[in-house]
Amino acid sequence: MDVLLQQFFNLDIMAKALPLVLQGLKTTLLICLIVIPMGLIGGVLVALASRSTVRALRVSVTLLVDLMRALPPLVVLILVYSGLPFLGLRISPLTAVVIAFFLNNAAYYGEIIRAGIESVPAGQWEAARSTGLRADQAFTWVILPQGLRNVLPDLVSNTVEVVKLTSLASVVSLQEMLYSADMARSLTFNASPIVLAALIYFALLWPAVRLVSRLEHAAAR
């Protein structure tokens, strides 16, 4: 029991690791602030493209979405980070993470948003257009807000996944929270910094997970 406490819940070590882990948390949050909005915007574009009348656009977006859903995100990340230099493009770990996660997020958010858009009755579109709104105005003010609201639980749920996904960035030596915690672990020969990071992830995401449950409950009623 003592060993367990010493190795996993060592408060002294946690206190020592805290500044480093918090430094990593900042990077984690920075990644989130970049990739979540980008992914949402990309998702709207993917949703639009997948409903386009232009066949070539539909096909290429379907290809992207299928690829991203079938490939492990880690593979995409390493491919971007280690592959692009072969094309003469040297990129920072952060850029690689942003590119890889953008592709991944756009695909997943895109599928969710497409389902949301398709759940809005055709009459909404007709009513909006009948008052003289252009297609883009009808989409922005009438269709999209309703579509997003209809899939809100899925959007929040996917966002939780995105935050968890940021821990993959440690693989390309981006010093986000997991990377920092693991560094602290190797310096202290103790797992407590990892537990600390886990606790912070939990504190960060648990409210969101609860929110998803409540939203799903509300939607089922």
Contact residue for another protein among 119, 121, 202, 208 (CB under 8 A): 121
Residue number with CB closer to another protein (149 or 164): 149
Residue number with CB closer to another protein (37 or 121): 121
Residue number with CB closer to another protein (62 or 130): 130
9, 143, 192 from 4: Cα distances, Å: 7, 54, 10
Residue number with CB closer to another protein (131 or 186): 131
CB of 145 to another protein, least distance (A): 5
C-alpha neighbours within 13 Å on the C-beta side of residue 91: 21
Binding pattern to another protein, positions 125-164, x when CB under 8 A?
-xxxxxxxxx--x---xx--xx--x---------------
Residue number with CB closer to another protein (82 or 137): 137
**Per CB under 8 A, which region of 9-17, 70-78, 122-130, 201-209 contacts another protein?**
122-130
* Residues contacting residue 14 through CB under 8 Å, at least 6 positions apart: 192, 193, 195, 196
9, 21, 178 from 5: Cα distances, Å: 5, 20, 21
**Considering CB under 8 A, how many residues would be counted as binding another protein?**
18
Measured distance CA(192)–CA(196) in Å, rounded? 6
In which residue are the tokens 């030596």 written? 173
Q: Does residue 37 bind another protein (CB under 8 A)?
A: no
24, 41, 92, 120, 145 from 46: Cα distances, Å: 31, 9, 26, 17, 16
CB of 44 to another protein, least distance (A): 17
List of residues contacting another protein (CB under 8 A) = 121, 123-124, 126-134, 137, 141-142, 145-146, 149
